[in-house]
Amino acid sequence: MATSSTLFLVLMMSLTCNLYSNACYPSIISFGDSLADTGNAKQLATTVNGQGLHILFPPYGETFFHTPTGRCSNGRLIIDFVAESLGLPLIPPSQGSKENVTGFGQGLNYAVASATVLDSSFFEARGVDIPTNASLGVQLGWFKESLPSFCSSFSDCKHLVGQSLVLMGEIGGNDYNHALIAGKSIDEVETYVPYVINTIAIVVNELIELGAATIVIPGNLPIGCSAAYLTMFYGSNKIQYDNSTGCIIMLNKFAEYHNELLQKKLNQIRELHPEVNILYADYYNAAMQFFLSPKKYGFTNGALKSCCGGGGPFNYNPSIECADQFSTTCAQPDTYANWDGLHLTEAAYRVIFKSIFEGPYTTPMFKSLCPNLMLPSIEALSSPI
């Protein structure tokens, strides 16, 4: 007859199994740029040529963390909401901490703000300066180098990666942003797109070889709605705007072109690896919801003007960045979709998260893979971990 201690042990094992079963994924592996970076750029601040250091000062992080964390927003990012929905702690940055390097725990984040898909040599050959060399390939290299610290054999590593939810960005937007801001024409930058898509595919295939079983690959956001671009092209008589949103048509069509090529490439990978869950995350249309109807989503101050910035028609000034002593910050960030002209507010990222992971904006739907996804009310997620 089983003793009470044995019954207790069996009960605890059962509860633990149910916890992991409900969570679907016991860990997250993340790659990407500023939309996913939870602190790597902060850790690497001495090696990024001083670029982007304004994110290390208030008001960044003010809404949720009440202090700057290296996230390019006033609070949480999409990856933070994903972790919370899976019952996991917020995923730490992989760089700069001995604890992170030696312990995988419930995941690691390799994303770096300003990162590109393509390596720096691609841009150097085209006369484009980029603020960091932490390309997608470099991030993958970091991950592969760190794997032996997490697992003792190839099969163990493959099992670890296979259990994890792999988030591939968003990444790719900066390959175009850096070039366009440097003055390259949209026609020239359009030639970059096949290179970007092919490189994403190479990394996805490498991750599959390493054991990845579920990979979420987001598309590009509607960049024509960015306060930075709206400011850059403000007053030009050559620019056409969408009457329903106020966004720049040619830039949104460019983003759609990237997304179309990405989806075609992902379909090819699915055919080669039907056993792997390859999910396209439609960030473009998830975000377009609040650009079309900002007040419906609580953005009573609109979706185009940034909360924090250096003035101008969209409160964006590349010479006076958010956190600069001459910048201003709105009193209610949750009523804005745009945070600093280049990045979104926590409230906007929340809408995208819910649309992607709870709603219909992934192909196939994420909810079909994780039907027991724990989705606490957003009001319950009110304090940092």
Specify the CATH number for the domain of residue 65: 3.40.50.1110
pLDDT value of residue 98: 52
- Pick from 46-60, 87-101, 278-292: least confident: 46-60
- Coil, helix or strand for 278? strand
Reply yes or no on whether the pLDDT at 143 is more than 50: yes
Reply yes or no on whether the pLDDT at 43 is more than 70: yes
pLDDT value of residue 103: 61
pLDDT value of residue 307: 98
Residue 180 placed within a domain: yes
Catalytic residue list contains 340: yes
pLDDT value of residue 4: 39
Residue 280 placed within a domain: yes
For residue 310, report the phi and psi dihedrals to the nearest 5 degrees.
-105, 25
pLDDT value of residue 37: 98
Please write the tens of the pLDDT for every residue from 274-316: 999 999 999 999 999 999 999 999 999 999 999 999 999 999 9
Residue 313 placed within a domain: no
Residue 203 placed within a domain: yes
R_g over Cα of the chain:
21
Reply yes or no on whether the pLDDT at 321 is more than 60: yes
Mean pLDDT of the chain: 89
pLDDT value of residue 122: 98
Dihedral angle at the C-alpha atoms of 245, 253, 37, 120, nearest 10 degrees? Answer: -150
Residue 36 placed within a domain: yes
Please write the tens of the pLDDT for every residue from 171-193: 999 999 999 999 999 999 999 99
Residue 5 placed within a domain: no
Q: Which of 34, 73, 94, 135 is catalytic?
A: 34
Reply yes or no on whether the pLDDT at 240 is more than 60: yes
pLDDT band at 152 (very low <50, low <70, confident <90, very high): confident
Q: Which of 37, 175, 334, 340 is catalytic?
A: 340
Tell me how far apart the alpha carbons of residues 308 and 290 are, in angstroms, rounded to a whole number: 19
Q: Of all residues in the chain, what percent carry a pLDDT higher than 90?
A: 81
Residue 91 placed within a domain: yes
Count of domains forming the chain? 1
Mean pLDDT confidence for 360-371: 92
Residue 377 placed within a domain: no
Domain extent, residue 31, equals 25-222+249-284+337-370
pLDDT band at 52 (very low <50, low <70, confident <90, very high): low
pLDDT value of residue 380: 43
Alpha helices (runs of H) in the chain, residue ranges in sequence order: 4-23, 40-43, 78-85, 98-102, 120-124, 136-150, 154-163, 173-181, 186-190, 193-209, 227-232, 249-272, 283-292, 346-353, 366-369
